Structure 1
Amino acid sequence: MMMQLLNASRRGTALVTLTALAGCAGQATEFHRYTLPVADQRSATSGVSLPESAPTVAVSSVRLADYLDGQGVVYQTSDIEVNEAQTNLWADSLSAQLTRSLQRTLSERLRNHRVLGETLAGDRADTGVRVTLSQFQGRYDGMAVLAGQYQLRDAGGSLLSQRHFELQRPLEDDGYPALVRTLSQGWERVGEQIATEITRQEQMASRSDAASGRTSTRTAPTASP
């Protein structure tokens, strides 16, 4: 009689265990992986052959604050707390995605330039672009927030310009897909600002060269009769 009770108890325990495992299997964690959307842009050099003399822009890999350099999309839950999502993840390295996106934006805005990665450009770059991001996240008040700074350097590595940027954009909808799209729009805007600054620096250099040429002409000694 005792053995029958023990066997029945074991069978009951096994049934409960299997039922629990089946329930867990039915509630498997669902992961969502995101890429930054590609804007509807035509390649700046598509069907266009740039001359060898075309200025070259070298884009370094975007540097991220440590808390941004993970797999999860970051969400700011208060003025001092941030959370890295466990199931809403970047499909590829965020730094790599941001770098590729920046290259596309610069190519679109600087159509007479070669825009290359730092490695491909080598020592041929006329302008180097370096960007560091300190914020790239959603925020508890329904905003997407981007902040950081960029540097422009000349062919010799000397600093041409260093500027801080900070953008806040409202989310058009709830959820991580809307957050990723809004962050991407903000990042494109940062790229446009960088392109504008590159153009400004080139114009300043051109005016400076022209002024130097005029000065040299005025001060050139005249030949003796």
Structure 2
Amino acid sequence: MNKLLRPLLGLLLIAGLSGCAQQAERETSRYYLLSSDSPGYSKSTSGPVIGIQPVRVAAYINTPGIALLTREQHIRIANNHLWAERPELAITRVLHNELDRNLAQYQLVNGEFGQQRQWDYSLTTQIDQFHGTEAGEAVISGYWTLQKGDTAISQQRFNLHKPLPEAGYAALVQSLRHLLADLAHQQAATLTQLTP
């Protein structure tokens, strides 16, 4: 009887290891980069200087996992679909690049590098929501403030939504990136109206 059990146990062991390997393959982490799609361009170095402050984000956004809002209004953070870098840094970089492209007549300075006394204006952005939904949308909301010195010239609230073109985290990341471009376009339009 022992001779019969050994081959059966061997087959069970192989089947079990095969199942573990398939499970490990399904749970492989994927990393997503929130990149700017801005094409190359040239700019004049004259014009007002606008300092772009580092974007502040809600705590749940600045986690390694990509966030999804469930139908029950719970935030679920992905375990295997992760940001390649801290979201607050990536969002700041994308907004800066998009604004720089949209505001050819201005000099934009990344606020992470200081030099505030040389700024004519400063732009601060706070992002409260930056996630996907189970209903298949990308969502960005928050507010931004344009200041001249210590005086707020404009304060704007934004709430942007975009349906995902297809299911999946790659489509979500691409849609969030497009929403950041939309936000930069809105900011640029207001900045152009309010500043000389």
Q: Which has the higher contact order (CA 8 A, sep 6+)?
A: 2
Structure 1 position 13, deviation (Å): 8.3
Structure 2 stretches of 5 or more lacking a match? Answer: none
In structure 1, the partner of 2:152 is: 159
Is residue 130 from structure 1 mapped to residue 128 from structure 2 by the alignment?
no
TM-score (norm. length: structure 2): 0.86
Q: Counting strand residues as a fraction of each chain, which structure ranks higher?
A: 2
State the one-letter code of the partner of 1:82: I
CA distance in 1, matches of 2:170, 2:112: 32
Matches of 1:125 and 1:170, distance apart in 2: 37
- Per the alignment, residue 115 of structure 1 pairs with 108
Give SS of 1:100's match: helix
Query: Which residue of structure 1 aligns with residue 136 of structure 2?
Result: 142
2:73 aligned counterpart, secondary structure: coil
Aligned-pair identity (%): 27
Q: Which of 80, 97, 104 lines up with 2:97 in the alignment?
A: 104
For residues 68-87 of structure 1, the aligned pairs below 5 Å read 68-87=61-80
For 1:71 and 1:44, the matched residues in 2 are separated by 34
- Deviation digits for residues 113-166 of structure 1, max 9, x if unmatched? 111111435121111111111111111221111110001111x22211111000
Q: What is the alpha-carbon distance in structure 2 between the residues aligned to residue 196 and residue 121 of structure 1?
A: 25
What is the CA distance between 1:27 and its match in structure 2?
Answer: 3.0
Query: Which of 25, 32, 52 does residue 59 from structure 1 map onto?
Result: 52
Are 1:174 and 2:170 an aligned pair?
no
Count of residues in Structure 1 that have an aligned counterpart in Structure 2 = 193
1:50 maps to which of 41, 45, 50: 45
Structure 1 distance, partners of 2:59, 2:192, is: 31
Structure 1 residue 55: deviation in Å? 1.3
Structure with the largest fraction of helix: 1
The residue type paired with residue 174 of structure 1 is A
The SS at the match of 1:68 is: coil
- 2-side partners of 1:159 and 1:16: how far apart? 70
**Aligned alpha-carbon RMSD (Å):** 2.5
* Alignment counterpart, residue 196 of structure 1, candidates 183, 189, 194: 189
Give me the TM-score of the superposition, normalised by structure 1: 0.76
Bigger radius of gyration: 1
